[in-house]
């Protein structure tokens, strides 16, 4: 029985949570029938989860070599009482210092961060929501270039009441955001009376897997500075960049630009993607605005990182030799896996948007659509989920402006599973092409048969006409010449 909605709040009874989306439906399909190489080899392969499982072996090795880092070992148990007691919501000082240093290293040492501005949160999800609560009131809006992370609809809007205004980008320039698109969208919605409080973007992009170049970032910073609206940069994939152009943080940009109101600049970070630790729920709000830092710190009491996790990570992230080696290896392994997957697709004649970061690619299946509509995209997605048994995410769930693009994740599984996924895609694509060729042959055969019958019918009509009324035939008719 469904609960009486009169007993619930509007928030609980409403449908604005943003989870009525194929992005989440694909996860449910996987949960109901998860692939396992031996126990369930015909199950759904999860290629819709942007998770980094490529370097967990390095972390395991560090843990074995540093048992004192955990209060749950004989070597570290002496610190148990100090860590298990109540901790201020500012977080452990050594943890905030280690996070600030790691953020700098993950950006190649080209930017520096202050520990005093690091605010903890329950993952990047909590960090983004905290910033929305801090920067906007219900009904206010933020611009977001498309395509954008599907869960932004939930993370940014559901509890805060903030609106998202998509800034439409398209494949003609690889979905790069332009000043013209920002200006026109801003003016259009400002005229409607909606209060636009800022711009949110993910760099590196999810789902594009691309990084913003310095010129584009400077244009964006100038735009928000001119409008005096906020800029929130989600940089959770910073260390996954593996090819040129290298990742550039907004922290580098504002350091080198004059006359920028730093109170408008905010960064979201986490250890979920770069280090592959989403279960630790370590998110970071980093703001250049003192009032936002203060407000976010008060709000952090609703989503703290456990002191045990802080203590462990402080020890690991303070090991500079390990961190530097780890970051180099992450980039190498992501590059290798990206190359393996995209080359496998290329052999089937499938292309992807050119990318240089992230744990996924944007696969181009526009040629496989029945027609260029989002209805056809959803029909194809259902076949991929239910028949091919692979969970990929359709572009429409990321508010992509064009049908036929699908985000596919490649770093949340071992190589054997990835190869099985590629084989399934190959069998499906080749099967579809065979069916298309077969249908084309049938159509050609029908067309030739029709044309042959048409000629026969025409000849018969001419013969009948000749028999009945030879006077009406042209003197140039081949029948007369015969």
Residues classed as catalytic: 149, 234, 236, 273
Integer Cα distance of 418 and 408 in angstroms: 11
Q: Which residues contact 94 (CB under 8 A, 6 or more apart)?
A: 311, 314, 318
């Amino acid at each position: 029985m469904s609960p009486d909605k009169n007993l619930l709040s509007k928030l609980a009874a409403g449908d604005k949570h943003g989870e009525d989306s194929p992005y989440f439906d694909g996860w449910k399909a996987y949960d109901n029938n998860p692939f396992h190489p031996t126990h369930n080899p015909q199950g759904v392969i999860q290629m819709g989860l942007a998770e980094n499982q490529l370097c967990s072996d390095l972390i395991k090795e560090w843990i074995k070599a540093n048992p004192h880092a955990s209060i749950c070992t004989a070597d570290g148990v002496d610190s148990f009482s100090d860590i298990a007691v109540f901790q201020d919501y500012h977080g452990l000082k050594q943890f905030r210092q280690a996070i600030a240093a790691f953020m700098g290293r993950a950006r190649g040492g080209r930017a520096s961060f202050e520990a005093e501005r690091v605010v903890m949160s329950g993952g990047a999800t909590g960090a983004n929501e905290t910033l929305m609560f801090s920067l906007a009131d219900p009904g206010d809006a933020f611009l977001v270039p498309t395509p954008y992370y599907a869960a932004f609809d939930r993370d940014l809007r559901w509890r805060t009441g903030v609106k998202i205004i998509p800034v439409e980008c398209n494949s003609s320039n690889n979905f790069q955001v332009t000043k013209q698109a920002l200006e026109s969208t801003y003016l259009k919605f400002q005229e409607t009376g909606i209060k636009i409080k800022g711009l949110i973007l993910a760099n590196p992009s999810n789902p594009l897997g691309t990084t913003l170049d310095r010129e584009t970032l400077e244009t964006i910073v100038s735009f928000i500075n001119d409008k005096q609206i906020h800029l929130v940069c989600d940089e959770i994939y910073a260390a996954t960049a593996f090819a040129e152009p290298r990742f550039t943080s907004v922290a580098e940009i504002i350091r080198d630009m004059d006359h920028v109101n730093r109170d408008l600049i905010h960064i979201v970070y986490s250890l979920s993607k770069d280090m592959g630790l989403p279960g630790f729920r370590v998110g970071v709000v980093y703001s250049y605005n003192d009032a936002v830092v203060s407000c976010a710190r008060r709000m952090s009491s609703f989503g703290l990182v456990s002191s045990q996790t802080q203590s462990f990570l402080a020890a690991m992230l303070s090991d500079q030799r390990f961190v530097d080696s780890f970051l180099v290896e992450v980039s190498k392994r992501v590059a290798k896996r990206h190359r393996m997957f995209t080359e496998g697709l290329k052999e089937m004649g499938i292309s992807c948007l050119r990318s240089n970061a992230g744990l996924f690619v944007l696969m181009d299946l526009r040629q496989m659509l029945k027609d260029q509509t989002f209805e056809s995209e959803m029909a194809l997605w259902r076949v991929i989920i239910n028949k091919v048994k692979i969970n990929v995410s359709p572009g429409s769930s990321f508010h992509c402006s064009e049908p036929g693009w699908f985000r596919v994740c490649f770093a949340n599984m071992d190589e054997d599973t990835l190869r099985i996924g590629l084989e399934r895609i190959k069998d499906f694509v080749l099967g579809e092409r065979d069916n298309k060729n077969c249908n084309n042959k049938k159509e050609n055969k029908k067309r030739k048969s029709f044309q042959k019958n048409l000629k026969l019918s025409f000849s018969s009509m001419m013969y009948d006409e000749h028999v009945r009324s030879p006077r009406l035939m042209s003197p140039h008719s081949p029948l007369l010449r015969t």
